[in-house]
Amino acid sequence: MKSRRTLLVRTGHGSAGVAAVPGMPGPASDAAPGPADVAAPVPDVAPDLAVVTGPDAWPGAGQGAGAAADAAVTLLLPPVPAAPSVPMPPMPPAPPDLPPVSGPAGPAPLWVTGPVAAVEPDRAPVAIPERPAEPPAIPAPTPPAGPACPVIEPLFTHAPGLNWAGPGDHWSRAWALQTLGEAGPAPAAEPAPDRRSAVEQLPTARDIELIRDSLAVVEPVADRATAHFYALIFLHHPEVRSLFPAAMDVQRDRLFRALLTAARSAGDPEGLRTYLSALGRGHRRYGTLTGHYGPVGECLVQALAKYAGSRWDAGTELAWRRVYRLVSSIMIGAAEEAARTSPPWWQGEVVAHERRTRDVAVLTVRPDQAYPYRAGQYTSLETPWWPRVWRHFSFASAPRPDGLLTFHVKAVQAGWVSNALVHRAAPGDVLRLGPAAGAMTVDHASGADLLCLGGGTGIAPIRALVEEVAEYGAAGRSVEVFYGARQAAELYDLAELGALAERHPWLSVHPVLSGPGASGGALLTGELPEVVGRFGPWAGRDAYLGGPAAMIRRGVGVLLRAGVAAERIRHDLVGDLAAG
């Protein structure tokens, strides 16, 4: 409570009682204030204060408000008995430039000060300070402390319909540089004093064995384990949720497939490095940065520990930390190397959209800058209708002088991206493309004959390979292409392949039908892998397979039995191709 010498009456938020606020009713009182209820004169008032009394000093207030204002001053000053014998000093003249006090009909000022005091006739006048030249400064509100929220900007400024936040609008960078730097990673058990040096060692054969044993326990409950892993990330780092699609089912499957692939490839260091390097380069399209890998590793270890049961102990945890450190270092190195020469994604405009069948479309896309790739590779596409959802599609042509890219897309059941590309995309739409990936490329220096199996839209990478061989020159090699479908109408690219075969004698194309009612004649009948097996042996050939996952798996087995060496069988069995 302020002393008598520093009394100051203000109006504003929270500085007056409810009854003193204009427009709010005051307490009911029928009795007029008596002499003992009025404040005594304050001859030693501070020079920078103004005493405000009376209803006229409270603009916009009604009768109750004016009475309440007097009461507010009365409560702060103790009553003084009347002293009629005290001489009263003369009333000082009012300044000539004294402004009138606004009443209820005028504007309501926010503050009242200066020599505008109503002095009752039976009260001694009070020395009034000069009017200040400016009202007291009010400090601006201070925003709450914390990292600044990144600005969301449209990804494609020239396409108004596409307005989602991608990794290019600084969300991932803000998460890595601000949130992680301040909040730190998810809570983890305190490591032993020598844990750091142990983790930095390369994984041993025993580590690989422990990892495979723990994965065998987690695999039956992989859906729950991966769901728990993402829940930990989103709980401790909610900012990163915007980097992921709304539906996480495919994303969870992708994580566990990557773990299984890494564990099974541990005995093949070169193959593992190739796989992880492609994975690190591909993660750039999500906005993944180096700072993300540490927290992700901690959450992964916690999720595995929860669902590995009795298989989890200190040795298993150390093995996982060693392997994760190796995996993350390979992915980070590949991403940093790729960042020197290429963007994390490309924008591509659809310039042609041709429906070949009811569910198959051929799309031609013009990227916004040079796009490097090899025939037989694939890329990931994101559409404006399903943000954050990426699906893999193979290139259907060899690199062209005009830089255009061609894709064959089949709308699969419940396939979000594939249905959008087939039934909704049109010329003028803008897509996003990740970097090219895949090892299903031709070694033109080997000169080995080629055996190619393409089922459905899996003929797209096979056709690209044929075009590249034609460009480089066959150099005495032969190319056998088996093109399979259920019905003759589904062999949508047969005419183009036939035209290539007419121009190049080293190329042979064999259409195969597997559906009911398929007749013989010029077409082969039966399941594509089995038909190829009947034409064996194929020893000494380089084999390439494209199509559904089940067909590729059966085809690999048939080719192995037909004499093709395992290291000469090439395919890109990517689960996302079937997911649509």
User: How is domain 450-579 classified at the CATH fold level?
Assistant: Rossmann fold (3.40.50)
Q: Is the pLDDT of residue 456 over 70?
A: yes
**252 — pLDDT class (breaks 50, 70, 90):** low
Provide the pLDDT for residue 312. 94
Interval 174-230: pLDDT, tens: 333 333 333 344 444 444 444 445 666 778 889 889 998 999 999 899 888 988 998
Domain boundaries, the chain: 1-138, 181-339, 347-433, 450-579
CA distance 234 to 318: 25
Interval 6-36: pLDDT, tens: 434 343 433 333 333 333 444 444 444 444 4
- CB-facing half-sphere around the CA of 394: CA atoms within 13 A: 33
User: How is domain 181-339 classified at the CATH fold level?
Assistant: Globin-like (1.10.490)
Provide the pLDDT for residue 292. 85
Peptide bond into 344 cis (omega under 30): no
Helix H or strand E encompassing 366: strand 360-367
Q: What tokens appear for 174 in the block?
A: 């803000």
CA distance 119 to 42: 12
Question: Among the ranges 147-156, 210-219, 521-530, which has the highest mean pLDDT value?
Answer: 210-219
Q: What tokens appear for 503 in the block?
A: 């121009």
Provide the pLDDT for residue 522. 63
* Mean pLDDT of the 412-416 span: 88
* Mean pLDDT of the 257-282 span: 79
Provide the pLDDT for residue 111. 38
Domains 181-339 and 347-433 share a fold: no
Q: Residue 12, by phi and psi: left (phi above 0), alpha (psi -120 to 50) or beta?
A: left
Q: Could you give the C-alpha distances from 529 to 316, 513, 556, in angstroms and in order?
A: 41, 12, 8
Q: Residue 32: helix, strand or coil by DSSP? A: coil
Cα torsion through 447, 453, 456, 459, rounded to 10: 0
Q: Is the pLDDT of residue 127 over 60?
A: no
CA distance 295 to 476: 54
Higher-pLDDT residue of 249 and 18 is 249
User: How is domain 347-433 classified at the CATH fold level?
Assistant: Elongation Factor Tu (Ef-tu); domain 3 (2.40.30)
Q: What pTM did the predictor assign?
A: 0.61
Provide the pLDDT for residue 129. 57
Cα torsion through 208, 211, 216, 218, rounded to 10: -160
